[in-house]
């Protein structure tokens, strides 16, 4: 380790910044966030610094640097655009044993300001040991994505309970176990979801004398998106790595399943057209039972759980049984397939609205409001429409949609097996019959389909990008 990482108390401590440009402004901003008392010496100031002076946040002396300026300072930053001046400041500061940072001159620095992920009071500082500030910034971006915004609240809550927990669990090992439970379990989830009252109620339960025997289960109803693992949300990923049981169905792509915790128990519950591994009521019951046994259950569903996903029914049962749950949206097949096929679902010139419907066949028919679906200037997306395609085409045309209306059929959208058939209502069935698609498939009907000729951008890779097969073996469609 070339440099010693430290977190310094700078509240109300005097700090000097020499220079008034954009770089100086960034450094000033960091010092002010840490509560330092900042003096800036520079003949002129960047607009951001002028605003800060006007707001009374710092003292400005509009003149060049003088030797005696370093007196009484706890920390100095040399950020002028004159290298010689910066060097002189560094020499003076070093002679007086005052930590100094010199912009763009690592040799002259006795400390550096790291890249920061700020989840105050939690702060992550990253240094590349003066070698590559850009690399440190890149790492910071990655960590920003990984550390939920609510971690500050979690730290603040932990701080408030620290003494009580110490009192309640005298044994350090018990205390550690308690904090593990709180910081990785239902309490943390409540905090990250912004539900502070519920979080405190749970922590109080955990502190109750009989808490060790009681376990609080929870269900995360998570949308896994249409197939490409890069399309899941940060929150989904975090919960996927936290849950100890995964209940998933057929539309969840293998690489996404592989992103769940390695030691998690995995339960497959279907569903394929006319072939359900478990009936819906049995799935609802299973979730309740698992949660009651104290498990953190990930209910992973393709696309978005609230769009043709029966997610509502599952949480209805959970709510009735008093099981805590949260719902994490996913990218629904319509959005994923349309984006990856280069077909905007709405467009000022072609479609002012979009309708999502299910083309699921029941007793050989599809019960839909066909006159509404046949209106012009709209896009209609059919989920589960492959088997009923001839009926869909026939019904639309019977209600006045012209036979040359464009239609796209997207097979396994967003995956390496994506294939897009485009044609018209009059031609699509012959195209599909000549080269049967592999489900799942989605139908997009409307003038917007024409835009694909110009906007098609996605070239499916030859093989899955994420290792294991991306095949989302067909389901209803
Ligand atoms: C039971 S619905 C579930 C929809 C899901 N909840 C969603 O929001 O996308 C299943 C249907 O979604 C469509 N679907 C899901 N993923 C798809 C994909 N990657 N490509 C094409 N269609 C897909 C198909 O029409 C499939 O039959």
DSSP 343-359: --S-BTTTBSEEEEEE-
- Break the chain into its structural domains and give their ranges: 1-113, 151-213, 218-331, 337-455
* Ligand 1 midpoint to CA 2 (Å): 52
**Per-range mean pLDDT, top range of 89-98, 127-136, 234-243:** 89-98
Beta bridge partners of 78: 18, 102
| CATH class assigned to 337-455 | alpha beta
Average pLDDT over residues 205-211: 79
The active-site residue out of 69, 271, 301, 304 is: 271
Asked whether the beta carbons of 191 and 199 are under 8 A apart, the reply is yes
Q: Measured in whole angstroms, how far is the alpha carbon of residue 83 from the centre of its chain? A: 42
Q: Which residues contact 411 (CB under 8 A, 6 or more apart)?
A: 417, 418, 419, 420, 421, 437, 438, 439, 440, 441
CB 151 within 8 A of CB 234: no
Q: In the numeric block, which tokens belong to residue 384? A: 């589960």
Q: Tell me the whole-structure pTM to 2 decimals.
A: 0.73
pLDDT by residue (tens digit) across 279-302? Answer: 889 999 999 999 998 888 999 999
What phi and psi, each to the nearest 5 degrees, are found at residue 48?
-60, -40
Best residue among 383, 438, 469 to mutate for probing ligand 1's pocket (most ligand atoms within 8 Å of CB) is 383
pLDDT at 469 over 50: no
- Give strand pairing partners of 406: 424
409 lines ligand 1 (CB under 6 A): no
Measured CA distances, 167 to 62, 318, 439 (Å): 55, 35, 59
Which CATH topology does 218-331 take?
A: Cobalt-precorrin-4 Transmethylase; domain 1 (3.40.1010)
Q: Measured from the CA of 301, which atom of ligand 1 is nearest?
A: 6
User: Residues 26, 27, 33, 34: what is their CA dihedral angle, to the nearest 10 degrees?
Assistant: 170
* 225 CA: nearest ligand 1 atom: 9
What is the spatial distance between Cα 409 and Cα 412, in angstroms, rounded to a whole number?
10
CATH number at 1-113: 3.40.50.720
The model's pLDDT over 7-31, given as tens digits with 9 standing for 90+, comes to: 999 999 999 999 999 999 999 999 9
The mean per-residue pLDDT over the stretch 345-358 comes to 97
The per-residue pLDDT of the chain, averaged, comes to 91
What's the pLDDT score for residue 421? 98
Give residues with Cβ within 8 angstroms of 383, minimum separation 6: 307, 308, 333, 334, 356, 357, 358, 359, 360, 442, 477
How confident is the model over 181-210, as a mean pLDDT? 87
For residue 67, give the DSSP letter.
G
């Amino acid at each position: 380790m070339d440099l010693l990482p430290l977190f310094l108390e700078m509240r109300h401590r005097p700090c000097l910044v020499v220079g008034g440009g954009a770089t100086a402004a960034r450094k000033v901003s960091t010092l002010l966030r840490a509560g330092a008392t900042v003096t800036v010496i520079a003949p002129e100031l960047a607009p951001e610094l002028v605003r800060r002076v006007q707001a009374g946040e710092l003292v400005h002396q509009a003149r060049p640097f003088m030797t005696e300026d370093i007196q009484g300072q706890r920390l100095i930053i040399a950020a002028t655009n004159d290298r010689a001046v910066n060097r002189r400041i560094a020499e003076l500061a070093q002679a007086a044993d005052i930590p100094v940072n010199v912009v763009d001159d690592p040799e002259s620095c006795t400390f550096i300001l790291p890249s920061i992920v700020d989840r105050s009071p939690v702060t992550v500082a990253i240094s590349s040991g003066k070698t590559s500030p850009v690399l440190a910034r890149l790492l910071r971006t990655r960590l920003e994505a990984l550390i939920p915004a609510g971690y500050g609240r979690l730290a603040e809550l932990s701080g408030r309970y620290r003494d009580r927990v110490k009192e309640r669990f005298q044994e350090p090992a018990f205390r550690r176990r308690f904090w593990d439970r709180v910081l990785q379990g239902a309490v943390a989830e409540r905090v990250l979801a912004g539900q502070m009252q519920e979080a405190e109620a749970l922590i109080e339960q955990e502190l109750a004398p009989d808490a060790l025997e009681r376990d609080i289960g929870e269900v995360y109803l998570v949308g896994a998106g249409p197939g490409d693992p890069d399309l899941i949300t940060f929150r989904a990923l975090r919960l996927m790595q936290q849950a100890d049981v995964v209940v998933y169905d057929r539309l969840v792509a293998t690489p996404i399943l592989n992103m769940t915790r390695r030691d998690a128990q995995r339960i497959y519950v279907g569903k394929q057209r006319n072939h359900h591994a478990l009936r819906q009521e049995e799935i609802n019951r299973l979730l309740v039972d698992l949660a009651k046994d104290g498990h953190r259950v990930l209910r992973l569903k393709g696309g978005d759980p609230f769009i043709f996903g029966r997610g509502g029914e599952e949480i209805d049962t959970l709510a009735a049984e008093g099981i805590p749950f949260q719902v994490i949206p996913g990218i629904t097949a319509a959005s994923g397939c349309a984006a990856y096929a280069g077909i905007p679902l709405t467009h000022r010139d072609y479609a002012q609205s979009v309708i999502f419907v299910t083309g699921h066949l029941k007793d050989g028919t599809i019960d839909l409001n066909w006159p509404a679906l046949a209106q012009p200037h709209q896009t209609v997306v059919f989920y589960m429409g492959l088997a009923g395609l001839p009926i869909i085409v026939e019904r639309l045309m019977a209600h006045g949609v012209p036979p040359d209306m464009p239609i796209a059929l997207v097979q396994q959208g967003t995956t390496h097996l994506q294939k897009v058939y485009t044609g018209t209502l009059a031609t699509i069935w012959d195209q599909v019959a000549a080269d049967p698609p592999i489900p799942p498939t989605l139908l997009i009907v409307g003038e917007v389909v024409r835009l694909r000729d110009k906007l098609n951008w996605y070239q499916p890779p030859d093989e899955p990008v994420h290792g294991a097969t991306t095949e989302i073996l067909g389901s209803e469609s």
